[in-house]
Amino acid sequence: MLPDSIFFDGRILFLTEDPEPIHRQLAGDDLDPSAIGPLRDQISTDEITPAFICYHYDEKLGNFPYLGLKCGDRFPVKEGAVKAGGFAVSVAGKRRGKGSSREASPYAEWCAGLRLVIAESFERIYRQNCQNLGLLTSTDFGLIARLRRGEAIPLAEFTEGLDPVTAEIVRRGGLFAYNAARMKGEVAPPLPAHKPRPMTYAEKLLARHAVVDAAAGRVGLRVVKPGDGLFVQADWRFSHEYVTPMAASFLEKALGPDVRLRDPSSILAFRDHLTFLPHSMKAEHRAMGLLAVAEGLKPAQEAFCAKHGIRLHGELPDGSGSEGICHALMAERYVLPGQLVVGTDSHTPHAGALGCLAFGVGTTDIACAWVTGDARVSVPPTLRVRLNGRLRPGVSAKDLVLHLLAQPLIREGGAIGHVVEYQGEALRDLDTDERATLTNMAAEIGGFTGLIAPDAETVRFVRERRGAEITLEPWMRGDEDAEYAKTLDVDCAALGPMLARPGDPGNGVALLGLGETVPIHIAYLGSCTGGKREDLRRAYEVVRAAAAEGRRIPEGVRFFVQCGSEDVRRHAEAQGWIAAFEAVGAVVLGSSCGACINAGPGVSTRPDEVTISAINRNFPGRSGPGQMWLASPATVAASALAGRIAGVEA
């Protein structure tokens, strides 16, 4: 248990928009908070720990927090600087920790000596990872003056407003300590007791999976409501190679090498992120020995899976790629309506397109879930997004979600921690592949998850992809008078193709309103949001005429096509799509996350290179040092042919 009052023995680091105050603080100056200028908002986990840093999964991470932090046009934090500076507290602005679910980010902060992070607001997974590790969080900027005076801060101030389960996790110093006490019967999460109330579909899913008595295997509550702290039984738990070794290491340290996992048949592992890394790693990173570090993740994951009998979807025998991206395979092969899924990736909500509740968790969460079979959650509020009207021909789910990301409600963090439930007439225009783009990018919206109630399209998808028949149950939708925290209405008929300018997925602009000519160097069609069957079909519709006429992409432009899974690749070959892409000069790659995680062909190599990409996020450094624009698969294909950002009509 943590003491009743906490004394923070160290300095305060203010992460500012202007790089100069950061340089001064790292050089030893303690600055007056009133004179530091604006704080950096929307610091992503890609900036806290860039992807190449996450090849490490031990205390070495303490040398690297904020290495990717971009302030103006500079990166002011160098290796070892935070740790050497003796900082105990770090302060930032809005939406701290957006993006990836990587627990490496708060763990790097912890290993560098930080014990408290303060921000105007936090992304859900990042803050939960902090709590799991024992890194305290606060949105109270009044603490800064008290800390500067050397006051000890009552622990109760860090648990105020939290649900009872989360508050107890904070008091005990992290999730492992809490779960150890839980398994010994020393602590039990209090169960909510509410009068009957209408519930959203997400609330119904959480209620049906709520753990009532873990020892007896009793699951299911009649009613839950937002704010309830629960443990929920997972139908599926999965991790990829970035996280499996770190989680295994955490687990062994906490519970010993002989720990047994609960129901390994419902645990999956994926080798999907780094299969193409040797083709793209920069020389300076090779010189740092990072390729050897990264390649060590593969055998570590394989050994853990073999030891515990976990199914591993790995690399292809010929080394040409992987079986598929975890999100693609979960949707194509595994999840079903009404299930609950946890995975170690912020884009786990991809599977919400099939009417299951799928959400991302961090390293500690998945390590504990391997043993207990459940995951902790505070029942989130629900943002209802009503897709009114019908989408115009040529407008896709990616255009729709880029429009949503540009809305003030989303940009200002109004959806943080919410279930984003899509409803409305326009869903009729979107098959399950397209719906998965909407639910997947709930991560960029800042939501807890994305969700669509299952319907006839869901039944069709499962029949087509798996040859299985499923029956939808009457409870699988929200009650008519369910309570929604917010409602966002979208006039779908008014939407056209969208882009997101470099730096953030929320930098949305209509393609027709771009108003400038933007030459490109790279066009990338791939990732979990850009490598599905429907994504490739829409891109093929753009290139097929050019392929038939013998036209090719312009000199100086590289066009990469990378399927989300081998299942998709085989389908695309059978349809003739792959041949058409190759006919116009595209390089078709084996299935992998690849360039989306800065680990494969398609990444930029110079700051002046311009990429147009179908991936889901374009934070600084996400896919190389260049300028990345986000767009739909059709717009990516049209731009590849034009040599500049262009719509299909070009």
CA neighbor of 221 nearest in space, from 452, 381, 379, 448: 379
> Pairing relation of β-strands 522-525 and 211-213?
unpaired
Map residue 618 onto helix, strand or coil: coil
Among 368, 338, 49, CA closest to 181:
368
| Distance, C-alpha 245 to centroid of its chain | 19
Is there a contact between 91 and 12 (Cβ–Cβ < 8 Å)?
yes
| DSSP-assigned letter for residue 9 | -
Same fold, 5-178 and 499-642: no
Fold that domain 499-642 belongs to in CATH = Aconitase; domain 3 (3.30.499)
Q: Which of 247, 219, 233 lies closest to 308, judged by CA? A: 247
Residues 6+ apart with CB under 8 A from 366: 237, 239, 243, 247, 342, 343, 344
Contact 45, 23 (CB under 8 A): no
Q: Which residues pair with 341 in a beta bridge?
A: 236, 358
- Residue 349 has a pLDDT of 98
User: Phi/psi zone of residue 498: left (φ > 0), alpha (ψ -120 to 50 degrees), beta?
Assistant: beta
Q: Where are the alpha helices (DSSP H) in 264-362?
A: 283-287, 290-295, 297-308, 326-329
Q: CA-to-CA distance for 390 and 466, rounded, in angstroms?
A: 29
State the CATH architecture for 380-496. 2-Layer Sandwich (3.30)
Phi, psi at 556, each rounded to 5°: 90, -5
Q: Give the start-to-end residue ranges of the domains of the chain.
A: 5-178, 380-496, 499-642
271: tokens are: 């080798």
In the chain, helix, strand, coil percent, each to 5?
40, 20, 45
Cβ-contact 174, 305 below 8 angstroms? no
For residue 279, what pLDDT is reported?
84
Helix 566-575 vs helix 533-549: crossing angle, to nearest 10? 30
The residue with tokens 């999100």 is 327
pLDDT along the chain (650 residues), means of 10: 96 98 97 94 95 92 96 95 98 94 95 98 95 98 96 98 96 95 91 96 98 93 97 98 95 92 98 91 90 94 97 92 96 98 97 98 96 97 98 96 97 94 96 98 96 98 97 97 97 97 96 95 97 98 95 97 96 98 97 92 95 95 94 98 90
**What pLDDT score does 101 carry?**
86
Query: For domain 5-178, is the CATH number 3.20.19.10?
Result: yes
pTM: 0.94
- Cα 567 to Cα 470: distance, rounded to the nearest angstrom: 21
Token pair in block for residue 459: 């039944």
